[in-house]
Structure 1
Amino acid sequence: MRAFVVRPLKRTLFVIGATLLVASANARADELIVSAAASLINAFKAIGDAYEQQHPGTKVLLNFGASDVLMQQIVKGAPADVFASADQKAMDKAVAEKVVDPATRRDFATNALVLIVPADSRFAPATLNDLTSADVKRIAFGDPASVPIGRYAQGALQAAGVWDAVNAKSVLASNVRQSLDYVSRGEVDAGFVFATDAAIMPDRVKVALTVPTQTAVSYPIALVEGSRHANDAKAFIAYVLSPDGQAVLAKYGFKPAAGAH
């Protein structure tokens, strides 16, 4: 199994866009291409390995990035068989663009929005309002225009009445893992990520707040229209929804979605 993911520039703070590595258009007949949200990297690598063991004739290629960027790649003709996004809005866009089969759309996991700070930070916010303090200079979150974590964060900050003040300090990330990296390296004072992302760096970051969201943090998955491997793609989706797939997701901190097996 191969995975494709872009690494953030080590010292770049301000990000206005992302160019993601796309799976090769020359994928072999036995290669299943899964485009999945960046927050799914660890879980889907494990799911891909498990799926390959149960389906020895299939190779799973994983393409990770911001959900909206992946959707646009598919719209522009990038090869993909399965699309898994980190929010409903990205999948809604894919449906509107007619690049996924809506009949195959299923929610397969849920997550939580958290505010994290560097592990050695003395900053201990009790509420989102504490982010407006003059002592807080930089706050990382995904670009709301293209990154689900950014949309969830924006909604929470707007509900708390501090969006304008916090947005003025924003360091926009091209995906949730870049936001995590900024905090882990101490390049920002705080950042918004999913709970599952924070859990992979317990020695580098700490969760300051679990943040209520305006909409549930849920992950949908669907078959890409025109897939050359539709049967394998449907089988992969079924595996993600199966007890075995759900157990892998649970291992990486994801919660089950209503309707998942």
Structure 2
Amino acid sequence: MKKILPIVLIFIIISSNSAFKHFNVFNSKASSKEAEKSNEITVAAAADLVFAFNDIGKLYEKETGNKVKLIFSSSGTAREQIENGAPYDVYASANIKFVDDLISKGKIISDTKQLYAVGRIGIATKIDSPLKVNDVKDLLKEDFKKIAIANPDHAPYGTASKEALQSLGLWEDLKDKMVYCKDIQDVLAMTKSGNVEAGFISLSVYKKDEMNFMLIDDKLHKPLKQAMAVVKGTKNESISRDFIKFVNGKEGREIMKRYGFVLPGDI
């Protein structure tokens, strides 16, 4: 009997360890599935969307219970990040071409691509500045020593601003005054601080109590067609698709229009 007891104890210990390992594996799988079912999505959004998407994101969270993390930058910067594997769920670009580029590289779920807005650009000066722009040619005046522009190499609004100046035959005369910024928000900050006398910003970030602003004729540059889509590899495809649908839905479109965007159906 004394010899049997240790054998029984050994058997119980082995069985317990096996069950414990099985329980850990089960828990690990459950945790993995739980992570996949996260209700938070990360949206890489163009810098011109800061105010509009903050409003849309809050409303979407309130109505659905899902969470939206917004990361704003120039569309070109976000495109490069996604191409290099950045774990975004949704890409909202200020240039539809950037979305198409990522589709061709297999980084975007192609059937999720949707046009959501067309942007407008203008010239801003500090609210208390004696300098105001009533005509683009005013920028040629000596008083305008520095002019901020989003870098045309990766920022769609910067590209459009340069195109407008080229259409008017002013780019060569003004290019030495240009201060290149990473995105529209950077331009806005430089202009509001007084570090530059004027800046090219989007209508969507203009606030009349903070800036003087002159809208530029949109015939002077290519249309700023803005598109968004779901990033391939997301673990939250369903919520990502739903967010895009919300942006282009009644409530989302009302917010976009409030910030000066031209809506897809109005093009």
Q: What's the TM-score, normalizing by structure 1? A: 0.82
User: What is the CA deviation profile of residues 70-107 of structure 1, one whole-angstrom value per residue up to 9, with x for unaligned ones?
Assistant: 11111111111110011223323323333112322111
Q: Give the AA of the match of 1:47.
A: I
Aligned residue for 1:46?
A: 55
Aligned residue for 1:13?
A: none
User: 1:250 aligned to 2:257?
Assistant: yes
Q: Give the AA of the match of 1:51.
A: Y
Which secondary structure does the structure 1 equivalent of 2:235 belong to?
A: coil
Q: More helix by proportion, 1 or 2?
A: 2
Matches within 5 A, 1:201-220: 202-212=208-218, 213-220=220-227
Which secondary structure does the structure 1 equivalent of 2:216 belong to?
A: strand
Is contact 1:115-1:209 (8 Å) kept?
A: yes
How far apart are 1:209 and its partner, in Å? Answer: 4.2
User: 1:94 aligned to 2:102?
Assistant: yes
Which secondary structure does the structure 2 equivalent of 1:107 belong to?
A: strand
User: What is the CA deviation profile of residues 178-209 of structure 1, one whole-angstrom value per residue up to 9, with x for unaligned ones?
Assistant: 1011111111111100111112xx23311134
Q: Unaligned 5+ residue runs, structure 2?
A: 1-34
Moved over 3 A (4+): none
Q: Which entry has the higher C-alpha Rg, 1 or 2? A: 2
User: Aligned partners of 2:105 and 2:177: how far apart in 1?
Assistant: 34
How far apart are 1:167 and its partner, in Å? Answer: 1.5
Q: Give the AA of the match of 1:255.
A: V
Is contact 1:31-1:60 (8 Å) kept?
A: yes
Aligned residue for 1:224?
A: 231
User: 1:184 aligned to 2:192?
Assistant: yes
Is contact 1:107-1:257 (8 Å) kept?
A: yes
Matches within 5 A, 1:1-261: 29-56=38-65, 58-199=66-207, 202-212=208-218, 213-258=220-265
Number of aligned positions between the proteins: 232
- What's the RMSD between the two structures over aligned residues? 2.0
Is contact 2:37-2:236 (8 Å) kept?
A: no
Identity of matched residues, % = 29
Q: What's the TM-score, normalizing by structure 2? A: 0.80
Is contact 1:144-1:151 (8 Å) kept?
A: yes
Which secondary structure does the structure 2 equivalent of 1:145 belong to?
A: coil
- Quick one: structure 1 residues 128 and 252, their matched pair in 2 at CA, closer, same or farther if it must change by over 3 Å? closer
- Quick one: structure 1 residues 28 and 179, their matched pair in 2 at CA, closer, same or farther if it must change by over 3 Å? farther
